[in-house]
Amino acid sequence: MGNTRQNNDRMLHYQLPRPHYLDYPHSAIAFWRQVRIKDNRIDINYNLIYAKTMPSEFATYLKKTQISGQVIRSLLCFLTSQGIDVASIKETFQVEDGKLNQSDSRFNGGLYNQLLYEGADRTGDNLLGFHFGAEAEPDRWGLLGYIMTFCSHLSEALTWQKKYQSLVGTIGETSINVADGRVTLSWMTPVKPSRHMAEEVPTGWVRFARWITQTNLGPLEVHFRHSKPVHAMQIDAFFGVPVTYNSNFTGLVFPSDYLNLPLKQPDEDMLSLLGVRIKQVYSNLSPETRFLEQFNFALIKMMPHGAPTIENIAKELGLGVRTLQRRLKDHDTCFSDELDLARKNLALSYFDRETINLSELSFQLGFSEQSSFQRAFKRWTGVTPGKFSTDSQH
């Protein structure tokens, strides 16, 4: 803690460096914020960071992700509306106004998560991620948000969102599955996400959908992978249905009829104009950001045709095998790890359905035999697919 000296006449303040949430793998950490020495008495003020709300695996994963500056600006504006001095937050986390105000700025995904938890700490709001999501409007997602606003139907808006979601961020990937008159909209991350971030995403989806359809539509089901938080009844009230916690995915289930809902201000001319612009912006996105997105899309595309090989994926991407291996290594990963992770994510996303055909699922994931899939699933989750399905229904 450094050298200290007692002084009976004045108070000494020791401001210690504030640690980053990403640096601590423990379940809970206390860090000293200020040491005060006066009249032979030492006062230590500290805060607790509950890192269990942001698993260490997720913290490590966030280092590889990006979030748009527009989302960061939106969060800081929200915190300002809550009476928080965001100038001190920007100073603490070294967020420069010059970069923040650039239309195409991008930040590390870890910063976004840090700001959510810092905001929760300063406001005392245990549901800050949820409350931030409940205020979502088109400008939060920048150009993509406005394009979705000018679509004719909800299905068209979701198509644009799916194609250009990486412009908003690369922390999670949206998956859309339509079956049996139900649509499952999942937000998939390789590891369990932090609570504030997870609660913001589906909440923002519903808020935005209500805004662009001018309805008070509600989902059939809402799922979160984390445990039930304090004051969770606010979340139930917002969605209009009891929320399922400790689920196997983060997302929503809603009637497929919603896809045909007309939007409140369709505009073909604006959609065409902004469509040209978003393609230009997307083409200017970091090649490495687009590479990871294209790589994962190629994996998913090829799985139903058998286990993807690095040779097939390299050909699909127009790369040599060695080049593909090198670029994956640059991202601290390899082909086998990414294939295993993609299979795990897709497998878990299928378990939101009421009935699961394991043979079909094995085929969709590129396994030659159902037994191979079952062994892999037990390695991923610690239980068999059957037990996992049974547990998730309770």
**3-state class (DSSP) for residue 123:** helix
Q: At what angle do helices 335-350 and 287-302 cross, to 10 degrees?
A: 60
pLDDT digits (tens, 9 = 90+) for 177-220: 999 999 999 998 877 899 999 999 999 999 999 999 999 999 99
141 to 64, 150, 353: CA distances (angstroms): 20, 14, 29
Q: Above 60 in pLDDT, residue 45?
A: no
Is residue 281 one of the residues assigned to a domain? Answer: no
Is residue 61 one of the residues assigned to a domain? Answer: yes
Q: Which domain holds residue 25?
A: 12-49
User: Which has the closest alpha carbon to 189: 210, 160, 169?
Assistant: 169
Is residue 1 one of the residues assigned to a domain? Answer: no
Evaluated on CA atoms 62, 66, 71, 72, the torsion sign reads positive
The reply to whether 94 and 238 lie within a common domain is yes
Q: Above 70 in pLDDT, residue 246?
A: yes
The reply to whether 75 and 219 lie within a common domain is yes
Give the pLDDT score at 7: 38
Number of domains in the chain: 3
53 to 150, 198, 251, 257: CA distances (angstroms): 37, 10, 18, 35
The reply to whether 308 and 160 lie within a common domain is no
Contact 331, 288 (CB under 8 A): yes
Contact 219, 141 (CB under 8 A): no
pLDDT digits (tens, 9 = 90+) for 136-162: 999 999 999 999 999 999 999 999 998
Q: Above 60 in pLDDT, residue 260?
A: yes
Contact 358, 374 (CB under 8 A): yes
The whole-chain average pLDDT of the chain stands at 82
